[in-house]
Amino acid sequence: MLKNQFQSEQVRVGIIGLGYVGLPLVTVFAEAGYRVLGFDVSGTVCDGINKGLSHIKDIPTPRLTPLVQQGMAEATTDFERLAECTAISICVPTPLNKIKDPDLSYVVAATEAIAPRLRSGQLIILESTTYPGTTRDLMLPILEKTGMKVGADFFLCFSPERVDPGNERWHTKNTPKVLGGITSACKDAGMALYEKVFDRIVPVENTEAAELVKVYENTFRMINIALANELSMVCDKLGISVWEVIDAAATKPFGFMKFTPGPGLGGHCIPLDPHYLSWKMRNLSFKTRMIELASEINAEMPEYTVNKVALALNEHSLSLKGSRILILGIAYKKDIDDLRESPALDIIRILQERGAEVLYHDPYCPVIADDGHTEIPHLPLYTTPMTDELLNQCHAVVVVTDHSGLDYRGIASKARVMVDTRGVIRSITNGHDGTASE
């Protein structure tokens, strides 16, 4: 019965939040034959989608346009229309506040928007990353205040988003979809909806297990990146190439997974998600020691990178103060336009605070604007065209994000000093651990 209910062509799916997670969900649900209604507080975002225009790089406009023209996808700022939806996915931000505690105000607001429009048979799925217990302890009481009972009158699930921006192999549809329900009936309802959309569903016992899956995935990555970053510091002290060590270790066909060092963590997931679990466990009087230590190591990397630049300049009798530094790449990962939590922003801030003049080149990010949150002293900054003249004018070049398509060999041959935090020029370096100079 649930399968018939949630796979019917008459089902309308609502998606709250039309960003990096929400818009891809709108697209795959519409392509699977569901009529989709997207909700967002931004009228600009909704107007663009209703014109068939995508604001998300992973969803090209030519893919979205026919879905809008066929009436399969629509966007609105009118949350009264939640009542039209048989199933609703919540894809809103879950940031951390200044003391790294979870800010679930967007989840609460979305749930409170649903509650007065909740009707019998509706399925609600939270996709936003959070700590174990959020769906049951935070959302469920708000929804049950209506007098309806979960598992009988409505269904409530958690399914973590696993979006990897810029990944051409793994995307929303073919990445296995983890799903947990408050009750078994909730999980069955979620399975019925998802089976028509995603290539593989991975059911787990309950919402807490599903919530922990996502946090564990990104905690695993964060801790292993911290180990690679610490190895980079060790190799610096020993005068060994960290890239050579890691590449050689990666030849082991079992028991090893390759992680590489970098200038710090970026994006909305890896720098933030482990702190949801850390916060939850502090409330249970349990200290997540590996998370705390790994976070400390990763947080030191922007400062460590700037110190490497200063040392490299010093070898040429130059001080950081007054030097012109060119940053290559400011997005948090290669070949995307996302600046969220990018370590480049911290590196630029520290360089400016130490008196350096900072320029940057990034084909994906044309401007760093003053949005009220960025702590860089001198904004806005605009990308600078890559030219020989630019390289001649700069005292040092720092590879922060290794975008494809740049002639790193040519850049390295012209740069006075080059600090490579990503290992892109290791085959042509004169020094060790990614530092090259004339």
**Token digits for 192?**
């019925």
Average pLDDT estimate for 132-159: 97
Average pLDDT estimate for 290-296: 95
pLDDT at position 1, please? 61
Task: Pick 62 or 57 by higher pLDDT.
Answer: 62
Side-chain-side CA neighbours of residue 191 (13 Å): 17
Catalytic residue among 46, 269, 365, 394: 269
Q: What is the C-alpha separation between 2 and 183, in angstroms, rounded?
A: 14
| Residue 164: CB atoms within 10 Å | 16
Side-chain-side CA neighbours of residue 166 (13 Å): 12
pLDDT category at 430 given cuts 50, 70, 90 is very low
What residues are paired with 131 via a beta bridge?
none
pLDDT at position 436, please? 41
220-437 has the same fold as 2-205: yes
pLDDT at position 314, please? 96
Average pLDDT estimate for 327-343: 93
Query: Is pLDDT of 432 > 60?
Result: no
Average pLDDT estimate for 67-91: 97
209 neighbors 219 (Cβ within 8 angstroms): no
Q: What is the C-alpha separation between 114 and 85, in angstroms, rounded?
A: 10
The rounded mean pLDDT for the chain is 93
Q: What is the C-alpha separation between 398 and 419, in angstroms, rounded?
A: 5
pLDDT digits (tens, 9 = 90+) for 298-325: 999 999 999 999 999 999 999 999 999 9
Query: Is pLDDT of 151 > 70?
Result: yes
Task: Pick 63 or 338 by higher pLDDT.
Answer: 63
Class of domain 2-205: alpha beta
pLDDT at position 2, please? 66
Kindly indicate whether the domain formed by 220-437 is annotated with CATH number 3.20.20.70: no
Whole-number Cα distances in Å, 328 to 58, 288, 333, 399: 23, 35, 12, 5
Q: Can 269 be counted among the known catalytic residues? A: yes
| C-alpha closest to that of 222 among 164, 296, 282, 166 | 296
Count the helices and strands in the chain (H runs, E runs): 16, 15
Residues above pLDDT 90, as percent of the chain: 85
pLDDT digits (tens, 9 = 90+) for 370-391: 877 778 888 899 999 999 999 9
Query: Is pLDDT of 71 > 90?
Result: yes
pLDDT category at 428 given cuts 50, 70, 90 is low
pLDDT digits (tens, 9 = 90+) for 107-118: 999 999 999 999
- Comparing 71-80, 184-193, 333-342, 421-430, which segment has the lowest mean pLDDT? 421-430
Average pLDDT estimate for 342-360: 96
What are the structural domain ranges in the chain?
2-205, 220-437
Residues above pLDDT 70, as percent of the chain: 96
Q: What is the C-alpha separation between 423 and 261, in angstroms, rounded?
A: 9
pLDDT digits (tens, 9 = 90+) for 34-54: 999 999 999 999 999 999 999
